[in-house]
Amino acid sequence: MSTPVKIYFSGSIRGGRNDAKLYRQIIDDLQNYGDVLTEHIGNESLDDEVGQTDRQIYEQDMEWLRESDIVIAEVSTPSLGVGYEIGRAVAMKKRVVCLYRSEVRDNVSAMIKGSSNLECAEYKTVEEAKKLIQSVFNH
């Protein structure tokens, strides 16, 4: 029996939590393909980070990133942390897939959309995002 794929999901936290419900839907779908190490990103309250120092959060996230097999990043909401995680994942030679909503396509950084080290895909609905994810894991 093979071990499940370890998925690092990245989405904005301090950059804005407007997409928390969307993240939850994406994470729920990702769990069909493997273990999502960062499933807390979809929690609207993020209670599990309460009481942790920035250093502890950083160390834990970097450990999960090292442990992961693939990174799925939702980049519709600009976030320094998400950009940092993507850059570190590329340096670690991880497969990185960036998803973003069509209505924000012009706001997604050229450093993301222009990188040959990243797979980028836009979507309009959660169902389209789920189909993109399915193609990532069935490819």
* pLDDT (0 to 100) of residue 49: 60
Rounded-to-integer distance, Cα 31 and Cα 37, Å:
10
What class, spelled out in words, does domain 5-137 have in CATH? alpha beta
* pLDDT (0 to 100) of residue 13: 85
* pLDDT (0 to 100) of residue 48: 56
* Average pLDDT along the chain, 139 residues, taken 10 residues at a time: 90 83 95 95 71 91 98 95 97 98 92 96 97 93
- Domain ranges in the chain are 5-137
* pLDDT (0 to 100) of residue 75: 96
| Look-up of token digits 């998400």 | 82
* Stated pTM of the model: 0.93
Distance of CA 102 to the CA centre of its chain: 17
* pLDDT (0 to 100) of residue 44: 78
Q: Which two structure tokens, joined as six digits, stand for 73?
A: 């990043």
